[in-house]
Amino acid sequence: MRMGKKRLIIMALVALVCCLTVWATEHLLDRIPTFLVSKITIIGAQRCDREKILNLAFSSAYGRCIFKVKLADLYRQIRSDGWIKDIYIRRSLPSTLEIQVKERVPVGIIKADQLYLVDKEGVLIAAISDKKAWLRLPIISGLDLERVEVGSKPDSSKLEAALQALCLMQAMKAPWLADFSEISVKNPENITLSSQSKGCQIHLGISNLQQSLQYLKAAWNSLQTRVSSIKYIDLRYKNQLIIKPQTKHMG
């Protein structure tokens, strides 16, 4: 019995010492200047609100013990920016907090209540007031979207179809993308590319999309020099490329 009681006392003392050590460590760390966050570095923030990230990080971490900074809370606050696809936050001892930002890449512009940049996953990145800064991106129209929110992904099969076509064309480096500035999915059975400068349309349909695009690419060298004289190119029928010339007006 005495041995058992002695063992319990020893175990209790060990537990007490451990608790006191943890308590002392936590409180002492707050008083050691070496471990107080004095530097915050941000990597990869090109388009997102860098100043906002810095402000959030400074208010949450600067001057605090680096071990007590709640990285998960800071992650959630920063992640709300529509440009940010993901972020990685790590402690770099003794006193630096590193924030690495992975941004979304816009592939197109959608028309809703206003113009929005959209990435290949269909997430709305940011609202824009002027398309001039994004002339290289095609407009995706005919979506019938009313209420949308930056950072969200609209539930739209039309948008999914348009992005599928756009990503396929970008992956194959389609030479006609530079001239055809609009992708319309107003008719869900027909994806239509339009060129305002050339006055030409390309009807892709939705079935056999990849095959149709490959067929168009193979024929493009012979078509590109006369696009201005073509009203539309129709690839909705399997293994067929139908060309409708512009109507000539008699003067």
Which residue, among 76, 82, 88, 102, has the nearest Cα to 153 in the 3D structure? 82
Please give the share of the chain, as a percent, with pLDDT higher than 70.
86
Residue 209 has pLDDT above 50, yes or no: yes
Residue 208 has pLDDT above 90, yes or no: no
Residue with tokens 């076509």: 165
Q: Which domains does the chain have, with CATH numbers?
A: 34-103 (3.10.20.310), 106-245 (3.40.50.11690)
Q: 134-166, pLDDT tens digit by residue?
A: 888 999 999 988 778 899 999 899 999 999 999
pTM above threshold 0.85 = no
> What does the angle CA 187 – CA 188 – CA 193 come to, to the nearest 5 degrees?
65
How many Cβ atoms are within 10 Å of 20's Cβ, its own excluded? 10
Closest CA to 90 of 82, 100, 102, 104: 100
pLDDT at residue 131 in the model: 78
**Spatial separation of the C-alpha atoms in residues 131 and 110, rounded to whole Å:** 11
CA distance 194 to 111: 15
Coil, strand, or helix at residue 147? Answer: coil
Residue 80 has pLDDT above 50, yes or no: yes
Contact partners, residue 133, CB within 8 Å, separation at least 6: none
Quick check: 38 pLDDT over 50? yes
- SS3 for 183? strand
Give the pLDDT confidence of 94-141 residue by residue, as tens digits: 999 999 999 999 999 998 888 999 999 999 999 998 878 888 899 999
Q: What percent of the chain has pLDDT over 90?
A: 41
